[in-house]
Amino acid sequence: NAGVTQTPKFRVLKTGQSMTLLCAQDMNHEYMYWYRQDPGMGLRLIHYSVGEGTTAKGEVPDGYNVSRLKKQNFLLGLESAAPSQTSVYFCASSGVIDRGGETQYFGPGTRLLVL
Amino acid sequence: GQNIDQPTEMTATEGAIVQINCTYQTSGFNGLFWYQQHAGEAPTFLSYNVLDGLEEKGRFSSFLSRSKGYSYLLLKELQMKDSASYLCAASDSNYQLIWGAGTKLIIKP
């Protein structure tokens, strides 16, 4: 049981390049999330998904797109990378949350540097 | 607006007790989470409170006062491995987590 995995672990991009970050979970969770974490700031939600085939915008969605074609996978795309997108990106998953208290399980993170 | 406040950094001595405070303001409230994050690693779940009072789990305890919008995480018998950032997060009316910036806890021998 691997939990939540992310690829790649580290990437350097030039401004304007594109890339896709892959998140996979083997816990059969309905909910999946993409966050970014910057120094001195809390985790900020980029996009999330409440089930296969659905996505929704979070707090900071501009410059990112997502897809959830399969329940176990959640992809985050950067179409034209900018230096402001230099960050650590975390994927997380959780079960149904309408009962409250549902723990989010995090992947190991992807460190992205945009030059 | 929605906001979570917690101290940026705290220092404590090995074997001692430390209390990390968190205040929150959210649109609706469905509970308060504490996560631990070691440097360069992912956050991991520590505790969840939705009712007022103290929840104890080994060396770690978490307290919630809904009327005051206040929580704290209490760590006893501190060990060097407790050196980490501690993240406070409140669940809002849509069950989305609003995260604080984290408190970096430094443990000295």
pLDDT given at position A99:
63
Kind and range of the H or E element at B71? strand B70-75
Cα distance between residue A67 and residue A22, in whole Å: 10
Q: What percent of chain B clears pLDDT 70, i.e. is strictly above it?
A: 100
Band of pLDDT at residue B41, cut at 50, 70 and 90: very high
Of residues B2 and A112, which shows the higher confidence score? A112
What integer pLDDT is reported at residue A97 of this predicted model? 66
Q: Do A43 and B4 touch (CB under 8 A)?
A: no
Tokens 């549902």 — which residue? A102
Mean pLDDT estimate for chain A: 94
Question: Are the beta carbons of B6 and B13 closer than 8 angstroms?
Answer: no
Residue with tokens 């996009």: A47
Q: Which tokens in the block code for residue A74?
A: 């959640």
Q: Which residues pair with A112 in a beta bridge?
A: A11, A87
Quick one: pLDDT at residue A45?
A: 95
Position B71: which residue type?
Answer: S
Q: Mean per-residue pLDDT for A41-62?
A: 94
Would you list which residues of chain A are within 8 Å, Cβ to Cβ, of chain B? Answer: 40-45, 48, 58, 90, 97-98, 100-109
Q: CB distance A104–B45 less than 8 Å?
A: yes
Condensed to tens digits (0 to 9), the pLDDT of residues A13-48 reads: 999 999 999 999 999 999 999 999 998 888 999 999
Alpha carbon of B91: minimum distance to chain A alpha carbons (Å): 8
3-state secondary structure A45-100: EEEEECCCCCCEECCCCCCEEEECCCCCEEEEEECCCCHHHCEEEEEEEECCCCCC
